[in-house]
Every structure is written in C-alpha cells, then in structure tokens.
Amino acid sequence: MKALLVVEDDAISELIKYYIKPLGLDIIHYRDPIKALDNLEEVQPDAVIMSATDFPRHWKSIVVDIRSLKPKTKCAIILLKGQFFSFDEAAKAAFLGVNGVIKEDLSDISEVARFQSILKRYIDVDDSRKRRIIISPGDSVGLLFSLPGKAAIVSGKVNNLSMGGISFLADQKTLVSELEPGLVIEDASLRLEENIFSVNLNLLRNGVIMAFSFDHSKELHNSLDSYLSYKTSRDIKKLLNQ
C-alpha cells in the first residue's frame, strides 16, 4: 500500500515518515504540490498526508482530484494544520472529503494517536507493526543463536524490533542461506541494553534480511515495552532538534 506525502518542511516530513514506515506503507514524498497533482493517477495512493501550512492554496485542488479517483473509504486524506486554521477552512476540508485534520506537531502524543487511528480506520495496516522501531548502530540491542543440529553460532545486526518480531542481518549469510520459513530456533539470546533474554525464534522470512517472530515472558514483555517507548521518544526528540 502507498502513502503520498505532500509536505515541504523537512522536519515535519521526517516525523510523518517515522510514524508511517512501521505500518508497512510505501512512502512517496513530494515537496512540490504541482508534481503531486500531475502524478496522482499514476501513484494511486491509499493514503495522502499533506500540509495545509505549506500549501494553503493547493491542498483543496489535490483533495478534489483525489476524490475524483477514490472515495473516502478507499483513500484516507489527512490534512496537517498549523497554528492558524480557520473554521471556514475546516468546513471546506470536511465538505471536500478530507478524512481528518490534525496538528502538524506530532510530538504531541494525542495527535499521534489521532493520526494512527485515522489510518487504521480507512486503510488496512498491520497493527502488530505499530510499535516497530529501527535499531541504530549505537543502540544496545543484539541477537545470537545456534543453528539447530549444528555447532555454528550466528551473529549479526538487528535492523528493527517490535513487541513480537525482529529483523536481522546475519554476519555470515552462508550459514543461514538454506534455512526455511517455519523453522523454530530455540534458546536464542536477545540482548536488550544490559539484559539478556532467552527466546524461541520462528523464522518468517529468509533473504538478505531475516524476519523472526518470538514469544516472550512477562519480564521480557515489560522490558520491550519500556525500551520501545524510550526509543520512540528519543528518536522524535532527535528529529525535532535537527
């Protein structure tokens, strides 16, 4: 599924991307509203997020063109408003078929919740991925596991992490190239900051990047919940300070 982002401000667009990417949507970003209009029919977006602050005159034309292609139930249009957005503008947005209007400052957790609820209401997103985070090189997250029936230890880099899933790039791809989806790897070691947890991994996908699901104890559940919340908050602060 595709999300069309029509935002000129780089700081705002990075925040929006941060919240869209974990939902599994492909993002097409335009800083020029005319180019966005020209390519609407080709892109056929499932969601459109655009800034009324950056483009106070163009957003209406884009909404009209989108609605000529797709109804509200087939394409969610979310308008980002700045500090000044009049009642008349809000009424026009509703009349033209905008699904929701939110504040462009998504550092406000209540606006994040509204943003996600609109997307989930109108498009089919994988809710289990909602709190998936990207792991940076300096983050204290790691994974080690032994191959079933072999003495080899597989190490590598964790790419992203959620409450029940992990993606992983093995250091030695030849060690894992023949593993088939559905394989269960027992007693893998998941490092989360200073703590190491034993988890059973279920291989979902094997390619350049491996994808696993895993079950977890209450202790790991609580640690993951705290870490994901901390990492999300920290990454948002970095984006806002750029």
Whether 129 contacts 162, CB under 8 Å = yes
Query: For every one of its 242 residues, what pLDDT tens digit does the chain have, with 9 covering 90 and above?
Result: 788 999 998 878 887 887 777 677 788 999 998 998 888 888 888 899 999 988 888 899 889 999 988 898 889 999 998 888 888 999 999 999 999 999 887 766 677 778 877 887 877 655 444 456 778 777 888 999 998 878 789 999 998 888 878 889 999 988 998 899 889 999 999 998 888 999 999 998 888 788 898 887 888 888 888 887 777 666 655 544 55
What is d(CA 61, CA 230) in angstroms, rounded to the nearest whole number? 40
Edge-to-edge, what's the strand order for the sheet holding 133-134? 133-134, 156-161, 165-170, 210-214, 195-205, 184-192, 141-146, 153-154
Domains of the chain: 2-129 (3.40.50.2300), 133-235 (2.40.10.220)
Residues 6+ apart with CB under 8 A from 219: 197
What is d(CA 58, CA 6) in angstroms, rounded to the nearest whole number? 10
Tokens of 168: 């992983």
Neighbours of 181 (CB within 10 A): 11
Whole-number CA gyration radius for the chain: 21
Q: What per-residue confidence (pLDDT) applies to 234?
A: 61
What is d(CA 44, CA 1) in angstroms, rounded to the nearest whole number? 10
What is d(CA 189, CA 142) in angstroms, rounded to the nearest whole number? 8
Reduce the secondary structure of 153-178 to three states and give it as a string: EECEEEEEECCCEEEEEECCHHHHCC
Q: What per-residue confidence (pLDDT) applies to 105?
A: 72
Tokens of 136: 């940076």
Tokens of 164: 């029940």
User: DSSP label at 66?
Assistant: H
What is d(CA 37, CA 33) in angstroms, rounded to the nearest whole number? 6
Q: What per-residue confidence (pLDDT) applies to 127?
A: 47
**Residue holding tokens 């406000």?**
108
Q: Which residues pair with 27 in a beta bridge?
A: 3
Q: What per-residue confidence (pLDDT) applies to 6?
A: 93
Q: What per-residue confidence (pLDDT) applies to 136?
A: 77
**Residue holding tokens 């209009």?**
37
Q: What per-residue confidence (pLDDT) applies to 107?
A: 64
Q: What per-residue confidence (pLDDT) applies to 189?
A: 93
pTM above 0.75, yes or no: no
Tokens of 202: 């279920």
Strands 184-192, 141-146: pairing kind: antiparallel
Neighbours of 176 (CB within 10 A): 20
